[in-house]
Amino acid sequence: MTKPSSPVALVVGASRGIGRQIAIDLARHGYRVVVAAKTVSDATKATAPFPPDPNSNESTITTVVREIKEAGGEAVAFQVDTRDSESVKNMVDFTSRHYGSLDGIIYNSGAVWWSSVEKTSMKRFKLLRDVNINGLYATIQAAMPHWRQNGWKGRIIVVSPPIYSRFFRGKTAYAAIKVGMSVLTKGLAMDWKQRANRTWPSRPYGLQWGFNQLRRQT
């Protein structure tokens, strides 16, 4: 059961898969959660059985909020386009305004494309860049004024890979973007070392997404 003093978490990319589960688990542990992503639906008209398959297109931020509330948690949905910095700023400002604080951000929003540079068009590469690293950068930029006001009491967890060359094989274009997210995260950790803020990269391993099956690498 949440209270007005319960911590607040913003989960970006929370409609399906990893992000959905993170949002549900945070609510289960007493967080008030802003469930953010691009996909919305009318949760009251969700097809039976409910909840929908967490890796299907039937799972949206509105169905996730319904799941959380039916389990006794507190959550609100916010539709965001992480390619648009103004949309991202509105998301962060809404979180702080709606719940009165912003204690943590989990950035899970991402576009996936596992292919060679030869088979990756500039249009595709731009989409990867805009949704992944640009969206993360815009989220951090939008959060910093709020954390400056509260004495830098904020946390960021970024779903991004470790920096090692094996990750590049067969998906160099995607890897270039995702590793950039890891570099940004590590850089922030060093920049904020003397502050209360903390940043962590977190790598999903062997989990199923609605649009892709991630395979274990040996």
End-to-end CA separation in angstroms for the chain: 42
Please give the structure tokens belonging to residue 44.
Answer: 């009251």
In the block, which residue shows the tokens 């719940």? 99
Tell me the pTM: 0.85
Domain coordinates in residue numbering, the chain: 8-110+136-161+182-213
Helices (H) and strands (E) in the chain — how many of each?
6, 8
Cα separation, 182 vs 6, whole angstroms: 29
Least Cα distance to 184 among 125, 126, 139 occurs for 139
Please give the structure tokens belonging to residue 195.
Answer: 């502050």
Q: Tens digits of per-residue pLDDT, 24-64?
A: 999 999 999 999 999 888 766 656 678 888 888 889 999 99
Residue 107, phi then psi, degrees to nearest 5: -100, 105
Q: Tens digits of per-residue pLDDT, 144-160?
A: 999 888 888 888 888 88
Q: Is 124 exposed, middle or buried (0-12, 13-18, 19+ CB in 10 A)?
A: middle
* DSSP one-letter code for 192: T
| Domain 8-110+136-161+182-213 superfamily per CATH | NAD(P)-binding Rossmann-like Domain (3.40.50.720)
- What is the per-residue pLDDT for 40? 85
